[in-house]
Structure 1
Amino acid sequence: MLDSVPDILTFNECRKVLKIGKNSLLDLLHNNDIEGFRIGNRWKIPRDALLEYIEHRY
């Protein structure tokens, strides 16, 4: 399913995979529903964290 997704996703890549808006993803990151980290002012989301969120969501 997500074989073509890179190991580390940018904020926008993650939004596109989940098909959600900017504020929704920010809420998920700030609430630690999805594990992510910042490099400077940019969010990075590990693919494994995204997959874990998707598995627990459905």
Structure 2
Amino acid sequence: MASPPPAVLHADAAPTLDLLTVPQVMARLQLSRSAVDDLLRTGQLASITLGRARRVPADFIHTRLEQDAA
């Protein structure tokens, strides 16, 4: 009897992290590239670097916007 592939066994184990590119962040926040770069540089916007690509967690943006609105 063949066992299911590992991806099927662990599909529900780890939630996926929605990562946005800088242009996607620019569109969602309606900001210029330099404004987003400033937020990233000052740490007001969290990000991770994967090789040369920078990604921003989408849930961080939603949390940050909710905090600023309150």
TM-score when normalising by structure 2: 0.66
Deviation at 1:32, TM superposition (A): 1.1
Aligned pair partner of 1:35 in 24, 46, 51: 46
**Structure 1: 5+ residue stretches without partners:** 1-5
Amino acid at match of 1:51: H
- Higher alpha-carbon Rg: 2
TM-score when normalising by structure 1: 0.78
- C-alpha deviations, 1:1-58, integer Å up to 9, x for none? xxxxx81111110110000000100111111111111122221001111112211222
**Structure 2: 5+ residue stretches without partners:** 1-16
Where does residue 65 of structure 2 map in the other structure? Answer: 54
Q: Is residue 2:24 matched to residue 1:13?
A: yes
Aligned length: 53
Q: Runs ≥4 in structure 1, deviation > 6 angstroms? A: none
- The structure with the greater share of residues assigned to strand is 1
Report 1 or 2 for greater relative contact order, CA contacts < 8 Å, sequence distance ≥ 6.
1
